[in-house]
């Protein structure tokens, strides 16, 4: 499983039902039970007040693992050798090379050859188990990404529509300005220059809301930092770029207005 051995030893074939019971602790378990001390050689047991496991000697300490998808997992792990315990069911982890899904028939054949009465209930890949544990976080990610994309599209359409409306409602003014010698650059600045200010104001309000909701978002998603600089800086830049383009399209249209046609229509 790739769990590092930090102290002591792993289980061996000598750890059978004729030898004293042994146990391996995770690093977090060792620190919780024996803070500031070595756990090797200590006697521990797990269970509840109604039923407690027999005392076992700590022979090793290994690295922590995550039992769930969340990265703030604080559980502790005890490891027992299966050679000293009677198991009704068990999970067997197998490291393979190549596509593990193609080895299911071979795994069942090998298990049957060792003990024909042992049934293999299910064969799953580790990637499949991880995907199943992350489905809720991924669903939230997809939903939030979809809502964010729709919101961004609506915002860009709003900026475009507002600028286009301003251009059309002031077409006579544009025609007069151009007829009096106003350059296309001045016309573009007139209608597109205000958009970055409004978009920037919206980004400031949005960042404030994001900071307030950061704790909730962190609890819904996996591996997302509360104050991720890439997100906090990249999102406003994306909005500024998209809003600027949306505003410049009608602004460039205004700069190409023929004053003769506009004034003739009025």
pLDDT digits (tens, 9 = 90+) for 188-200: 776 666 777 777 7
Of 87, 5, 3, 15, residue with least CA distance to 57: 15
- Per the structure, the complete domain to which residue 102 belongs is given by 5-129
Residues 261 and 142 in one domain: yes
Label residue 134 by pLDDT band (50, 70, 90): confident
Q: What is the pLDDT of residues 9-27, one digit of tens each?
A: 999 999 998 999 999 999 9
Asked whether the predicted pLDDT for residue 38 surpasses 80, the reply is yes
Asked whether the predicted pLDDT for residue 28 surpasses 60, the reply is yes
> Which CA distances in Å does 208 have to 125, 180, 202, 238?
43, 45, 10, 17
Q: Is 8 helix (H, G, I), strand (E, B) or coil?
A: strand
Residues 139 and 174 in one domain: yes
Residues 112 and 181 in one domain: no
Pick the more confident residue, 234 or 179.
234
The pLDDT value recorded for residue 107 is 87
Last residue of a domain, one of 75, 104, 129: 129
Evaluate whether 125 touches 103 at the Cβ level (below 8 Å).
no
Q: Strand pairing partners for 16?
A: none
Q: How far is the C-alpha of 60 from the C-alpha of 4, rounded, in Å?
A: 11
Residues 69 and 35 in one domain: yes
The pLDDT value recorded for residue 23 is 96
**Mean pLDDT over the full length of the chain:** 80
Q: Is 75 helix (H, G, I), strand (E, B) or coil?
A: coil
Percentage helix, strand, coil, to 5, in the chain? 55, 10, 35
Last residue of a domain, one of 109, 129, 149: 129
Measured on CA atoms in the order 49, 54, 55, 61, is the torsion positive or negative? negative
The pLDDT value recorded for residue 70 is 58
Asked whether the predicted pLDDT for residue 56 surpasses 90, the reply is yes
Type and span of the H or E element at 96: none
The pLDDT value recorded for residue 207 is 80
Label residue 201 by pLDDT band (50, 70, 90): confident
Residues 244 and 156 in one domain: yes
The phi, psi pair for 52, rounded to 5°, reads -120, 140
Residues 192 and 240 in one domain: yes
Label residue 6 by pLDDT band (50, 70, 90): very high
User: Which is it for strands 47-48 and 51-52: parallel, antiparallel or unpaired?
Assistant: antiparallel
């Amino acid at each position: 499983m790739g769990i590092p051995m930090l102290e002591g030893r792993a289980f061996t074939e000598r750890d059978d039902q004729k030898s004293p019971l042994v146990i391996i602790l995770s690093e977090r378990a060792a620190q919780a039970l024996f803070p500031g001390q070595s756990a090797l050689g200590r006697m521990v047991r797990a269970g509840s007040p109604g039923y407690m496991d027999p005392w076992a000697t700590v022979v090793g300490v290994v690295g922590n693992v995550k039992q769930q998808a969340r990265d703030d997992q604080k559980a502790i792990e005890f490891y027992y050798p299966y050679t000293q315990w009677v198991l009704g069911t068990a999970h067997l982890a197998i490291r393979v090379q190549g596509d593990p899904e193609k080895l299911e028939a071979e795994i069942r054949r090998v298990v049957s050859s060792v003990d024909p009465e042992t049934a293999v209930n299910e064969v799953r890949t580790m990637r499949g188990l991880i995907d199943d544990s992350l489905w809720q976080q991924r669903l939230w990610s997809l939903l939030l990404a979809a809502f964010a994309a729709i919101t961004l599209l609506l915002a860009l359409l709003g900026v475009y529509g507002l600028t286009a409306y301003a251009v059309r409602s002031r077409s006579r003014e544009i025609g007069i300005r151009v007829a009096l010698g106003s350059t296309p650059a001045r016309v573009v600045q007139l209608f597109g220059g205000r958009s970055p200010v409004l978009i920037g104001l919206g980004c400031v309000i949005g960042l404030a809301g994001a900071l307030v909701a950061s704790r909730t978002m962190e609890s819904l998603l996996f591996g997302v930092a509360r104050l991720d600089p890439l997100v906090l800086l990249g999102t406003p830049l994306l909005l500024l770029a998209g809003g600027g383009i949306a505003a410049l399209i009608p602004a460039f249209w205004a700069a190409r207005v023929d004053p003769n046609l506009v004034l003739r229509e009025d």
